[in-house]
Chains A and B, each alone.
Chain A
């Protein structure tokens, strides 16, 4: 009995102490070739893109944080070019219920999938690539203060018009405030923002899940005109999911977005490594549209191959998606992740 007790005590491992600091590192290398069919403007029909994207995060206890995310971009599109982009680099500090941060960072306040009306600090949303499939979105240089207490979060942000890339076209200095809470299952935000030299922006957004399969989201915003976004997602037990959005950004413009996707095509060897998605973006005003297809095949834990295709249609040169100067664009590539 005593021997058994002694063995038991010996087998007792102490719980590991809390680390003083923690780091995370990731590296992604992507190479993609793209081909345009029926190009309507002079230029190369094919190109190649090489992306080397390291990211690093460091946290010291619950007080200090630092994050950096870079993208080395090598492009061959007729001519060869290379550049280094800083997607995010910021320092964060926490005291009590307050989080502070300063630096270049990506914030997303909009709840829309393909469009946003309230994402005043978000990177520009591209409805034909809402997931930013190449991870090339860049943040804005900003300082933020966030107070979190119970269910409530209040964020204040000041974003420059571009400290490093001097005054990017169309970008203005922004001061923004957001109040976020979860109330009766509604994840709700109220947003007020002011861009230098423009009228004040006010907006609100929400997401809510109903039952096991339905998610509904919406955004409402007003500046010079009113904008409305309503959307939803339906998930089936098989893993098939569909997203729908209707977006009216004002001035009579209206858009619709529909995406159907299935990750892990079937739960069978040789099938579960495949993800497929098809999306349609339509400008309901000029009736132009663009069809987007994505297929991904994972090969183990580090390597994946993918293909992406988009086919615009609409009145040539006289509609939004008819302005796109090709009949189809097909890209295929691979990604290595460490």
Chain B
């Protein structure tokens, strides 16, 4: 509410919106609580036909610590840990983490980064570009530039609904400048009094007939102990 008032005051004063504040507000749709758990299902489509399915349980604490458990049959027992820019993958039946490079988060239409890095205000610097109509709603368009190596993309164009900073659309760019993916934020859900993302579609801009649908369910606040985010911990479940 305070944000809306600030936004209205800024608008009435003729000032451009505070892009970083808008970005922080928009992050709340995927990060409902300071410490929470959510289940993410990703279905990949080729030429309109489903061809791959992945299921993850994501535990997040603060903006820097994410722990992802892979639940799909072929990946069961795998875990991914992200601590700021540092990432490890744990393979089944081994408690030893394998250090992975930031580039290894990028495979597939929806990458590890799309699942585990959802605090854009931490990873990107935002600049307000313009206001335009998108999907029937008036939107602020922000340009996000990566401020750290752990950021999944180098640049993002981000459309946020002017009334509540809810994400509507995004375009993702690589360091080469190539437009690699687009996303539409399709459905939202009210959980525990908070408006949270339910469905996101990511379109491959290089192979035009390929897209992935990310479905979020089971959003819930959790008291997550610090030790589950320690890279050296032997127990993973």
Let me know if A325 is at the binding interface, CB within 8 A: no
Distance in angstroms between the alpha carbons of A304 and B103 in the assembled complex: 26
Provide the B180-193 mask, 1 if CB < 8 A to any CB of A, else 0. 00000000011111
A106–B91 alpha-carbon span in the complex (Å): 12
Contact assessment for B234 and A187 in the assembled complex, using a CB-CB cutoff below 8 Å: no
B38, chain A: closest CB distance, angstroms? 10
Question: When the two chains form their complex, are residues A269 and B51 in contact, meaning their CB atoms are under 8 A apart?
Answer: yes
A213 and B226 within 8 A (CB): no
Specify which chain B residues have a CB less than 8 angstroms from the CB of A213 in the assembled complex: 101-103
Chain B residues in 8 Å Cβ range of A76: none
Contacts A180-B232, A182-B86; is A211 near B149 (CB within 8 Å)?
Answer: yes
Residues from chain A with Cβ under 8 Å of B77 in the complex: 26, 55
- Which of A12, A57, A182 is B231 in contact with, Cβ under 8 Å? A182
A173 interfacial contact with B, CB 8 Å: no
Query: Known contacts A26-B76, A135-B92, A213-B101; is A15 also within 8 Å of B86 by CB?
Result: no
Please state if B94 and A106 are interface contacts (CB–CB under 8 Å). yes
Residue A24, interface by CB 8 Å: yes
- The verdict on A174 contacting chain B, using a C-beta distance below 8 Å, is no
Contacts of A150 in B (CB 8 A): 226
From B21-29, B137-145, B160-168, B216-224, give the one contacting chain A.
Answer: B216-224
A166 CB to nearest chain B CB (Å):
24
Q: Which residues of A in the span 78-108 have a Cβ within 8 Å of any Cβ on B?
A: 87-88, 92, 94, 97, 99, 101, 105-108
A301 contacts the other chain (CB 8 A): yes
Taken together as a complex, chains A and B put the C-alpha atoms of A49 and B226 apart, in Å, by 43
* Complex-state Cα separation, A8 to B188, whole angstroms: 12
Contact in complex: A233, B227 (CB < 8 Å): no
Whether the pair A148, B226 counts as a contact (CB closer than 8 A) is yes
Q: Does B225 contact A (CB under 8 A)?
A: yes
Tell me whether A18 and B222 are in contact (CB under 8 A).
yes
**B115 contacts chain A at the CB level, 8 A cutoff:** no
A187 and B220 within 8 A (CB):
no
Segment at the interface with B among A193-201, A236-244, A251-259, A314-322: A236-244
Chain B nearest Cβ from A91, distance in angstroms: 11
Cβ of A32 to closest chain B Cβ, rounded Å: 17
**Is the CB–CB distance between B86 and A187 below 8 Å?**
yes
In the assembled complex, the CB of A85 is this many whole angstroms from the nearest CB of chain B, namely: 12
Chain B residues with CB below 8 A from A310, complex form: none
Contact across chains for A109 and B96 when beta carbons are under 8 A apart: yes
Determine which residue in B94, B149, B225 has the highest number of CB atoms from chain A within 10 A of its CB, and name it: B94
Q: How many residues of B contact A (CB 8 A)?
A: 59
Given contacts A92-B235, A135-B93, contact A97 B86 (CB under 8 A): no
The docked-state distance in angstroms from the alpha carbon of A113 to that of B89 is 13
- Assess the A241–B104 pair: CB atoms within 8 A: yes
Q: How far is the CB of B46 from chain A (nearest CB, A)?
A: 5
User: A16 near B: Cβ within 8 Å?
Assistant: yes
A212-B103 contact given A15-B192, A148-B226, CB 8 Å threshold = yes
Q: Which residues of B contact A187 (CB under 8 A)?
A: 86, 88, 97, 99, 231-232
Residues of A contacting B106 with CB < 8 Å? 237, 239
Cβ of B230 within 8 Å of any chain A Cβ, yes or no, is yes
Sorting the interface of chain A by its residue count into under 10, 10 to 19, 20 to 34 or 35 or more gives 35 or more
Name the distance in Å between B138's Cβ and chain A's nearest Cβ: 20
In the bound complex, CA of A67 to CA of B85 (Å):
31
In the bound complex, CA of A12 to CA of B221 (Å): 15
Known: A109-B96, A269-B46, A301-B53. A97 touches B101 (CB 8 A): no
What CA separation (Å) do A59 and B95 show in the bound complex? Answer: 16
Contact partner of B234 among A107, A185, A302, CB < 8 A?
A107
* CB-CB nearest in chain A for B33: A15
CB–CB A99/B190 < 8 A: no
Among B74, B86, B103, point to the contact of A298 (Cβ < 8 A).
B74
Per the bound structure, the CA–CA distance linking A215 and B104 in Å amounts to 11
Chain B residues 25 to 82 lying within 8 A of chain A, measured CB to CB, are 46-47, 51-53, 72-74, 76-77
Known: A144-B234, A264-B107. A62 touches B225 (CB 8 A): yes
Report whether B191 and A12 are in contact in the complex, using a CB–CB cutoff of 8 Å. Answer: yes
**In the complex, what distance in Å separates the CA atom of A58 from the CA atom of B100?**
28
Contact of A137 among B85, B93, B101, B193 (CB under 8 A): B93
B residues at A contact (CB < 8 Å): 46-47, 51-53, 72-74, 76-77, 83, 85-88, 91-104, 106-108, 149, 174, 189-193, 204, 206-207, 210, 218-223, 225-227, 230-235, 237
Interface residues of A (CB under 8 A from B): 8, 11-18, 24, 26, 55, 57, 59, 62, 65, 67, 69, 87-88, 92, 94, 97, 99, 101, 105-111, 113, 122, 131-132, 135, 137, 144, 146, 148, 150-151, 153, 155, 178, 180-182, 185, 187, 189, 207-209, 211-215, 217, 233, 235-237, 239, 241, 263-264, 267-269, 272, 298, 301-302, 304, 337-338
17 A-B residue pairs with CB within 8 Å? A57-B237, A59-B237, A67-B237, A99-B234, A99-B235, A105-B234, A108-B95, A113-B98, A148-B232, A148-B233, A151-B230, A182-B83, A182-B231, A215-B100, A237-B103, A237-B106, A298-B74
